[in-house]
Amino acid sequence: MRVMVCGDMVVCGNMVVGGDMVVCGNMVVGGDMVVGGDMVVCGNMVVGGDMVVCGNMVVCGDMVYVFGKARNFLFVSLPL
């Protein structure tokens, strides 16, 4: 498991990482974060609830973010 932080990382809940996590900005988590794959953040991520990552899919509240490559990602917003 690798955790690489290039900025500031603040976790206010529980964080479980099962893969690689790369943060190039600021990451603030106000709930629980579970990562089952790889997570790449190139900007600022603010989570006010629970965040579950399985592979390259990020679920944040009622929003779903599907990422491709870090430099060329697809943004999808879907209600759960």
Point out the residues of the chain with pLDDT beneath 50.
Answer: 59-80
pLDDT of residue 79: 47
Between CA 71 and CA 78 the distance in angstroms is 22
Q: Do residues 73 and 56 lie in contact, with contact meaning Cβ atoms separated by under 8 Å?
A: no
pLDDT of residue 15: 66
pLDDT, position 69 = 38
Q: How far apart are CA 6 and CA 60, in angstroms?
A: 22
Residue 7 confidence (pLDDT):
63
Amino acid at 7: G
In this structure, the strands spanning 51-54 and 57-60 are antiparallel
